[in-house]
Structure 1
Amino acid sequence: MEIQPISFDIPGIMACQQNRYPMLFIDRVTECVPLKYAKGFKLFTYNEWYFHGYETASPKVWNVVQIEAMSQMFLMTFLSEEKFRGLVAMSNRFDKVQFFRKIIPGERLDLEATLESFGRGVARGKVKGEVNGVLTCSMECTIVIPEFFADFKQSLANNTASKVVSNITAGNVINFGIENVKECLLNKYPWLLLDGATEIQPGKFVKAIKNFTYNEHYFPAHFPGSPSVPGFIQIECCMQSFLLTFLSLDQYKRRETADRLLNNVHLRRKIVPGDTLEMHASLDSFSRGIARGRVESYVNGEQAISLEVTAVVVDELEKFRPKLKG
């Protein structure tokens, strides 16, 4: 017998997953077959809190917000199943995360998530997003339900229990505080997610820190009974530390950037209020406005999130685009 798709409005979505304002990034699930697929959309308005956290004349939807919107639509592929509704799910890994165009206020991101496998509390699949029928973002993801994957936290601890020595060589140990960071990045509250750098060698590497206190605006919503740092916030912390590797160069300070590709994004442990995330960002190459590198991060010496990244300096890249002949 053919299964009839179901739909969810905001109350229905909140009955399935625990994300709440200001961390809920899907507005409607228009079509869903539990344990198979989910389709829906997210509308963007200038009143969104993150539009005001980056100093530019052209506001855009942050790429990590797109990641979170895709993740939440993917959650609906399995949390829409009656027996799983309302359970906590945790991001574990993202691959081939790509961004193809800028999203601006007034646009609608149509999302389609496909569940490729689901067993022992581990869900794997793909998500893509389109604006006006044009592919805008896509990724592969792995998300777990810890309640059904009882060994999740323990397995992570076993894999990362020993202290990890950074492969970044010692550089300039300095007092590079929040005012110095603001001289380099366009980010501002509530979207500036670095507290400073303990080591920095512009054009090569940065060792940055972010302290997490319960006063952060997202903890009450993520989640009321067990506060933790959302995965997309962890990714953004690492992205900002990576940007600092080249935006700390005098000629690139406060230049506008855009993420293009994220790979091998691993979220290895839960980060909670009272933790300090230490990020080690390396710039592997930087040419014609294209920066490639990686970030490894630690909490109390244990591996936390890590990723590989390609980002661009927007106006620098434009200089090298082929010019169309009139």
Structure 2
Amino acid sequence: MDFGVQDIKNIIPHRYPFLLIDRVSYIEPGKKVVAYKNVTSNEYFFQGHFPEMPVMPGVLIIEALAQAGAVAILSQEEFKGKIAFFGAINKAKFRRNVVPGDTLKLEVEIIKIKGSAGIGKGTAYIGEKKAAEGELMFMIGDKN
């Protein structure tokens, strides 16, 4: 199953300039997702991080992983129409710079859900090399 930006926007509430995933190539609702972010030189954050040597901020890589994880969770029947919030970030590691021209492959596996809270393990890759990883704790809530 391949989701484009419009499909993603039907699941999560993020919009430009903060929607950080472009495509979902695999989803197992409530369990696993594989998504992609094409990093271009036109990204708003490169204006200040860093103009002389553009590098995607690590926190935005983690946010991209969280958005991918939210697609997996909010595609699960019982959570459709809800919103996912960050609870915590644990064991975050940044292994390489992400620069214009890179395509981030974002893999998130949901490792625990209890009630409306859970934990996902996310890994971002450039090609086959890890760029970042971490445990993402989340809570599911109503949109209003």
Distance 1:196 1:248 in 2: 15
Q: What residue ranges of structure 2 are gaps of 5+ in the alignment?
A: none
Q: TM-score, normalised by structure 2?
A: 0.93
Q: How many aligned residue pairs are there?
A: 142
Query: Which among 212, 228, 235 is matched to residue 39 of structure 2?
Result: 212
Kept after mapping to 2: 8 A contact 1:185/1:253: no
Q: Which has the larger radius of gyration?
A: 1
Superposition deviation, residue 250 in structure 1: 3.4
Distance 1:219 1:257 in 2: 27
Kept after mapping to 2: 8 A contact 1:183/1:254: no
Distance 1:202 1:221 in 2: 36
Distance 2:6 2:53 in 1: 32
1:223-262: CA deviations, max 9, x gaps? Answer: 1110110111111101111112211123323412221121
Q: TM-score, normalised by structure 1?
A: 0.42
Identity %: 32
Describe how 1:231-270 pairs up with structure 2 within 5 A.
Answer: 231-270=58-97
Superposition deviation, residue 189 in structure 1: 1.1
Aligned partner of residue 44 in structure 2, secondary structure: coil
Q: What residue ranges of structure 1 are gaps of 5+ in the alignment?
A: 1-173, 316-326
Task: Assess, with a 3 A threshold, how the Cα gap between structure 1 residues 254 and 214 changes in structure 2: closer, same or farther.
Answer: farther
Superposition deviation, residue 288 in structure 1: 1.0
Describe how 1:1-326 pairs up with structure 2 within 5 A.
Answer: 174-315=1-142
1:218 counterpart letter in structure 2: F
Kindly indicate whether structure 1 or structure 2 has the higher relative contact order, using CA contacts under 8 Å at least 6 residues apart: 2
2:93 counterpart letter in structure 1: H
Superposition deviation, residue 217 in structure 1: 1.0
Kept after mapping to 1: 8 A contact 2:120/2:135: yes
1:176-234: CA deviations, max 9, x gaps? Answer: 11111111101111111110111111111000000000111111211111011011111
Kept after mapping to 2: 8 A contact 1:184/1:253: yes
Distance 1:301 1:230 in 2: 20
Please state which structure has a larger fraction of its residues in strand. 2
